[in-house]
């Protein structure tokens, strides 16, 4: 197998990791032109300062000794297998970097031989890049569950970011669908990485030139919809991961059916909308000050597919609304559906010089489609009078047209149709799964 054949197989095998997204197209530049698009395995990620960077995203091998039910690379699947050598990955990375195809490397692997053997190979790649090739580009490396602490330590000294995948949202589901992986083999390296980052910060305060340790922090990923946990359980776990392990990011990956397996749900489509609602909730927890328990509870353990989580939270808390735009605090503005960080900042800044009305909000490009039901300007609603929860939900239902038209360059044009993704059959949100039909009162959560 030549290098390009390996690259084709191992870049394709890496696409289910959602930490960076695929470029999505392949295009050779015509003769005499400059550049081509999306060679195999080149994906995009975002750096801490918001820049979009391209990464070579590959598996070291798709030859796995484990047999996770949901995974295309599991040992029981009959499929093409390939493995890079350490030197091949180093060569590919340097060649692509020199040609300006990439700015970094995203390297993961199936488990070859043992967790330690796999991790040793991954670490060797990065050490060669750093110490022999003097490569200073961004490197995101997978931490292999069950790898020894010494190897995780070595990885932390050379990689920018480490991620150990949580995979599934409960120990019960892990035992069912990924029986070779154990809860502790996932949590221990996470704990070690967190401690290493904290320790490095302390050392750096004393010795500014102390070697860095995972400077871009750690992330994890869990599959949504392959097992029967509800959104509340997933959100609680996510909150605990941020809190206990100082995660930079918890990624959710909608379950994509690739295997026939009685333990897995029968679904026609990956639950993308559910993944989206969880990302919205994750965003609310990280940047808007919401707690998981405010967004969902035991009575309502799942997000409504029709509405974003702030709308549901707001209609369940009529005592908190309306908010007067001229007096509400910044934190209160952030909790108004439709008002984001940028709009809240603009409002707080603008009202220092004048009392605002709706025309001012329009000029500031504040979106009123949802906000109009929850705010007043100078004591008055914009287009509605004392909106009640049921009326708000009806007005904001995906198929319904808001009486309010968004600010547009072409006001006479009909409003754009609703995105088709928002109109869905609710039964597709929670497909029936083998474990979803079980009694989950005995679920063993991770924490």
HSE-up of 56 (CA within 13 Å, CB side)? Answer: 26
Q: Identify each DSSP E strand in 232-315 by its residue range.
A: 249-254
Find the shortest distance in angstroms from Cβ 71 to ligand SF4.
Answer: 3
| Residue 11 touching ligand SF4 (CB under 6 A) | no
- Rule CB under 6 A: say whether 117 interacts with ligand SF4: no
227 binds ligand SF4 per the rule CB under 6 A: no
Candidate list 14, 56, 60, 68; residue touching ligand SF4; CB under 6 A: 68
Give the residue with the Cβ less far from ligand SF4, 19 or 73: 73
Q: What single-letter DSSP state applies at residue 377?
A: B
Nearer to ligand SF4, 110 or 125 (CB): 110
Q: Which of 111, 119, 122, 375 binds ligand SF4 (CB under 6 A)?
A: 111
**Footprint (CB under 6 A) of ligand SF4, residues 38-67:** 64, 66
| Residues 281 and 309 sit within 8 Å (Cβ to Cβ) | yes
Size of the site for ligand SF4 (CB under 6 A): 9
Selected binder of ligand SF4 within 20, 71, 92, 347 (CB under 6 A): 71
Rounded CA-CA distance 104/55 in Å is: 5
- Return the number of the residue (166 or 339) whose C-beta is nearest ligand SF4: 166
Residue 258 CB, shortest distance to ligand SF4, in Å, is 10
Residue 145 CB, nearest distance to ligand SF4 (Å)?
Answer: 8
Give burial (CB, 10 Å; 0-12/13-18/19+) of 105.
buried
- Residue 144 or 366: the one with the smaller Cβ distance to ligand SF4 is 144
User: 249 by DSSP, 3-state: which?
Assistant: strand
- The answer, yes or no, to whether the previous bond of 322 is cis (omega within 30 of 0) is yes
Helix axes 272-287, 231-245, angle to 10 degrees: 40
Which CB, 103 or 229, lies closer to ligand SF4?
229
Question: If binding is defined by CB under 6 A, does position 81 make contact with ligand SF4?
Answer: no
Would you say 178 or 285 has its CB closer to ligand SF4? Answer: 178
Asked whether 110 and 147 are in contact (CB, 8 A), the reply is no
What is the Cα–Cα distance from 181 to 167, expressed in whole angstroms? 10
Q: Mutual orientation of helices 231-245 and 183-206 as an angle, nearest 10°?
A: 30
Closest approach, Cβ 194 to ligand SF4, in A, equals: 22
Q: How far apart are the first and last CA of the chain?
A: 45
Positions in the binding site for ligand SF4 (CB under 6 A): 64, 66, 68, 71, 73-74, 110-111, 178
């Amino acid at each position: 197998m030549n290098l390009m054949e390996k690259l084709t197989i191992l870049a394709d095998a890496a696409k289910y990791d959602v930490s960076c997204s695929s470029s999505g197209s392949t295009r050779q530049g015509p003769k005499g032109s400059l550049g081509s698009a999306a060679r195999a395995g080149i994906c995009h990620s975002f750096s801490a300062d918001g820049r979009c960077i391209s990464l070579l995203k590959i598996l070291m091998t798709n030859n796995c000794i484990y047999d996770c039910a949901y995974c295309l690379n599991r040992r029981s699947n009959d499929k093409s297998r390939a493995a890079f050598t350490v030197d091949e990955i180093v060569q590919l990375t340097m060649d692509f970097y020199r040609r300006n195809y990439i700015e970094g490397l995203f390297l993961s692997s199936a488990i070859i031989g043992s967790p330690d053997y796999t991790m040793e190979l991954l670490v060797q790649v990065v050490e060669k890049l750093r110490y022999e090739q003097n490569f200073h580009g961004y490197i995101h490396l997978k931490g292999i569950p069950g790898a020894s602490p010494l190897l995780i330590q070595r990885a932390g000294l050379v990689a920018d970011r480490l991620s150990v995948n949580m995979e599934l949202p409960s120990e019960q589901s892990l035992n069912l669908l990924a029986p070779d992986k154990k809860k502790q083999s996932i949590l221990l390296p996470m704990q070690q990485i967190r401690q290493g980052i904290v320790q490095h910060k302390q050392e750096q305060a004393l010795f500014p030139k102390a070697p860095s340790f995972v400077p871009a922090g750690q992330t994890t990923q869990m599959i949504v919809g392959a097992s029967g946990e509800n959104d509340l359980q997933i959100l609680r776990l996510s909150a605990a991961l941020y809190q206990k392990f100082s995660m930079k990011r918890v990624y959710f990956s909608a379950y994509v059916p690739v295997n026939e397996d009685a333990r897995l749900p029968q679904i026609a489509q990956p639950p993308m909308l559910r993944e989206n609602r969880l990302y919205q909730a994750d965003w609310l927890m990280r940047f808007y000050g919401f707690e998981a328990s405010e967004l969902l509870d035991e009575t309502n353990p799942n997000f409504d597919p029709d509405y974003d989580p702030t709308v549901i939270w707001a209609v369940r808390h009529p005592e908190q609304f309306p908010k007067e735009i001229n007096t509400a605090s910044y934190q209160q503005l952030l909790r108004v559906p439709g008002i984001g960080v940028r709009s809240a900042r603009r409002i707080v800044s603008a009202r220092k010089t004048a009392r605002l009305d709706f025309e001012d909000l329009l000029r500031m490009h504040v979106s009123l489609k949802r906000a109009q039901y929850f705010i007043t300007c100078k004591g008055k609603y914009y287009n509605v009078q004392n909106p009640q929860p049921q009326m708000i939900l009806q007005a904001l239902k995906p198929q319904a047209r808001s009486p309010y038209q968004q600010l547009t360059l072409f006001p006479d044009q009909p409003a754009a149709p609703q995105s088709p993704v928002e109109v869905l059959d609710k039964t597709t949100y929670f497909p029936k799964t083998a474990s979803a039909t079980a009694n989950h009162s005995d679920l063993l959560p991770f924490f």
